[in-house]
Amino acid sequence: MSFQPTTVNGKRGTVNRKPVSGFSLISAIFLLVVIATLGTFAVTLSTTQNQSQVMDIMAARGYQAALAGIDWTAYNVNQQPANAPAAWAGCVTGASVTVGGNLAPFIVTVNCAAVSAVEGTTTMWVYSVSSVAKTPGAPGSADYVEQIATAKLAQ
């Protein structure tokens, strides 16, 4: 180690200069940890957003499948003759409706109850319909979706 003369504030003297080492290694490790943490956060955020979008789409499809059950019931009720002496025979609890296309993953169950009202000589039937569309699996699982649609139909 050598001593070199230096000038500090106009005074001449010698300064003991020791070699500096290790500081850049600590900085590099710190930067690597920070960058890795940010990268992990970005990947996690991207994955969460993607899963959220997929579930939003599945929820919309589930609602459309539930509406398909209501439409199926409305069509069949509409096929009954006016002033029918009995309610539509298909108005039962737990009727299964098959859907296709993008709605195929859903199991649609229609629950129906009919009540008659007589006005003069006209018999009118009022149907309370509830349609439940759900994917196979258990509630709480990552890909489980359940949607319910209800309607009152009269003929």
As to burial, measured by CB atoms within 10 angstroms (0-12 exposed, 13-18 middle, 19+ buried), residue 123 is middle
Average of per-residue pLDDT values in the chain:
88
Distances (CA, A) of 134 to 91, 104, 150: 20, 11, 15
Tell me the residue range of the domain where 34 lies.
Answer: 19-154
Domain count, the chain: 1
Residue 70 located in a structural domain = yes
Residue 53 located in a structural domain = yes
Residue 10 located in a structural domain = no
Q: Is 23 helix (H, G, I), strand (E, B) or coil?
A: helix
Residue 13 located in a structural domain = no
Residue 108 located in a structural domain = yes
> Mean pLDDT throughout 80-102?
90
Higher-scoring residue by pLDDT: 48, 128: 128
Residue 125 located in a structural domain = yes
- Rounded Cα distance between 84 and 114, Å, is 12
First to last CA, the chain: 105
pTM of the model: 0.71
> What pLDDT was estimated at residue 10?
61
Percent above pLDDT 90 for the chain: 62
- Rounded Cα distance between 147 and 136, Å, is 13
Residue 1 located in a structural domain = no
Q: Please tell me the number of Cα atoms within 13 Å of 4 on its side-chain side.
A: 6
Residue 2 located in a structural domain = no
